[in-house]
Amino acid sequence: MEQINKLAKQDIKQASGLLLVLSLIFVAANLRAPITSVGPLVSYIRESTGISNSVAGLLTTVPLLAFTFMSPFAARLARRYSVERVILYALIFIGIGTLCRSVSSSVTLFGGTMLIGLAIAVCNVLLPSLVKRDFSSKIGLMTGIYSVAMNICGALASGISVPLARDAGFGWQGALSSWLVLTAVGIICWLPRMRQTKQAAAAVSQAHTAASETKLSRSPLAWQVTSFMGLQSFIFYNLVAWLPEILSSRGMTSDTAGWMLSLIQFSMLPFTFVIPIVASRMKNQRMLVVMTTLLYIVGIGGLLADGNSLVPLWSVLIGIAGAGSFSLAMLFFTLRTRSTQAAARLSGMAQSFGYLLAAIGPLVFGLIHDLTHHWTISIVMLIAASVLIFVFGMGAARNRYVGE
């Protein structure tokens, strides 16, 4: 009988562990698709609403501004209400924002986009600390798993947005609202975790005492992590907003241009899984920073060349570089801190100031094009950002902890 009970407890523990992993995956799946689905549809939205290129760039900038505003508050909300409850509410608000955004009005379009951005910001900040708390012995593996989930759905959203809007007859509103299904699945998978709220809240409260002693704003390492996070986001969200338009202006069809953005994200998938595992076992991550920088410079520089025949190659190189920079940014939140609460606070700081930098990109990118009527200067701006990734990444990759 004792052996049966022991086996039963093991089965329950394994089932609970699987549930934890699945809930993490489906939350992560909602953190990119609502944003990456917009870029390929910009021309449809612009024609429908009559907005300019620079205003259309705000559709990507608004969520980033929401990230900037909301990120510092995520750790405080988690301390007060528990990580589980806050993430559940965030998923619900993602769904509400998706519905609002799908109404054929520029006011609801931007209002819903802002609501989505606020909700995603909370999840962006809390997931790294959740991994540190629940999977402390498997940080690299679990970071890879949820990063892959984010990128799979982000890539699919970029690729199927135009076919859903045009071929399936959904229009841009229906194409954007179709992601409600993914949000509903995320909520359903997260509900069983609500039983952990009291225990989790107590653990976070205890961790806060030690974490509060560290003043992140005075830490050079914290600012290096923040700058690295912001620059990789600056590059990614500029490409999400404008790569399809760049390629379309060079004669590529809109659906093919959308799939090039998807190719970037599909290229990220194996590397967003492998790199966190490899990086977490390294004494420092400077070699990965060097490789990431070189791939960015070659891939983005390739977009300056005439013709579209090598665009798939440039997309793959950019995707691998994006996987390296994103994975390292997520890992730095946990590898450069000693506690769960410190990880949440560093994540909040990095994503607040970092996304403020990223938010400037799509608006400036579109404005430069409106002024010059070509994309060269904007692309050179991304190459300069790649060089800065190297500068700050070499500091963030040192084997040190914030506050030491």
- When the pLDDT of each residue in the chain is averaged and rounded to a whole number, the result is 84
Number of Cβ within 10 Å of residue 282's Cβ equals: 14
pLDDT of residue 57: 66
Whether 213 contacts 238, CB under 8 Å:
no
Q: Is residue 280 part of a domain?
A: yes
401 is a domain residue: no
Question: How many residues in the chain?
Answer: 404
For the segment 317-340, the average pLDDT, to the nearest whole number, is 91
Task: Provide the domain limits for residue 380.
Answer: 17-396
In a domain, 402, yes or no: no
Other C-beta atoms closer than 10 Å to the C-beta of 86 total 22
Residue 387 in any domain: the answer is: yes
Q: For the packed helices 139-162 and 311-335, what is the interaxial angle rounded to 10 degrees?
A: 140
Among the ranges given (252-261, 305-314, 379-388), the one the predictor scored with the smallest mean pLDDT? 252-261
Domain count across the chain: 1
Section 219-230 average pLDDT: 92
Residue written as token pair 């509900």:
191
* Separation CA 136–CA 146 (nearest Å): 15
Residue 4 scores a pLDDT above 50: no
Please identify which residue in the block is written with the tokens 């390294």: 282
Structure tokens given for 66: 């929401």
Would 315 be classed as within a structural domain?
Answer: yes
Across 214-220, average pLDDT? 78
- Element of type H or E holding 217: none
Predicted local distance difference test score (pLDDT) of residue 402: 85
Residue 168's pLDDT is 82
Q: Looking at the domain assignment, is residue 46 inside a domain?
A: yes
| Assigned domain for 5 exists | no
Whether residue 386 is predicted with pLDDT greater than 80 in this model: the reply is yes
pTM for the model stands at 0.79
How far CA 27 is from CA of 24, 50, 162, 303, in Å, comes to 5, 34, 24, 33
User: Longest Cα pair distance anywhere in the chain, in angstroms?
Assistant: 78
**Are 356 and 230 spatial neighbours (Cβ–Cβ below 8 Å)?**
yes
Say how far apart CA 321 and CA 358 lie, in whole Å.
17
Answer yes or no: is pLDDT of 213 > 70. Answer: no
Gap between the Cα atoms of 265 and 158, Å rounded: 9
Alpha-carbon span 394 to 22, nearest angstrom: 34
**pLDDT above 50: residue 2:** no
pLDDT, tens digit, 9 for 90 and up, residues 113-151 = 999 999 999 999 999 888 888 888 888 889 889 888 887
Angle at 161 between CA 157 and CA 165, to 5 degrees: 155
- DSSP track, 68-103: HHHHHHHHHHHHHH-HHHHHHHHHHHHHHHHHHHTS
Q: What is the DSSP string of 117-164?
A: HHHHHHHHHHHHHHHHHH-TT-HHHHHHHHHHHHHHHHHHHHHHHHII
Q: How confident is the model at residue 390 (pLDDT cuts 50, 70, 90)?
A: very high
pLDDT in tens, 240-257: 778 888 888 888 887 788
- Structural domain includes residue 27: yes
The crossing angle, in degrees rounded to 10, of helices 220-249 and 311-335 is 160
Model confidence over 21-65: pLDDT tens digits?
A: 888 899 999 998 888 888 778 878 887 777 776 677 677 778 878
Which of the listed ranges 4-8, 57-61, 235-239, 315-319 does the model predict with the highest average pLDDT? Answer: 315-319
Render pLDDT for 191-205 as a digit per residue (tens, 0 to 9): 988 876 555 454 444
CA distance to 99, 271, 346, per residue, from 283 (Å):
46, 19, 21
Question: What pLDDT shows up at residue 262?
Answer: 79
Helix axes 286-302, 376-396, angle to 10 degrees: 180
Instruction: With cut-offs at 50, 70 and 90, classify the pLDDT of residue 14.
Output: very low
pLDDT of 140-187, one tens digit each? 889 889 888 887 888 788 778 888 888 888 888 888 889 999 999 999
- Phi then psi for residue 42, to 5 deg, are -55, -45
- 206 vs 357, which has greater pLDDT? 357
Say what the pLDDT of residue 214 is.
Answer: 53
Contact 67, 120 (CB under 8 A): yes
| Interval 349-368: pLDDT, tens | 998 888 888 778 877 888 88
- Chain centroid offset of residue 295 CA: 20
pLDDT tops 50 at residue 403: yes
pLDDT given for residue 221 in this prediction:
92
User: Residue 299 — very low, low, confident or very high, per pLDDT cuts 50/70/90?
Assistant: very high
**What distance in Å separates the CA atoms of residue 315 and residue 246, rounded to the nearest whole number?**
13
Position 196 scores a pLDDT of: 63
Domain CATH for 121: 1.20.1250.20
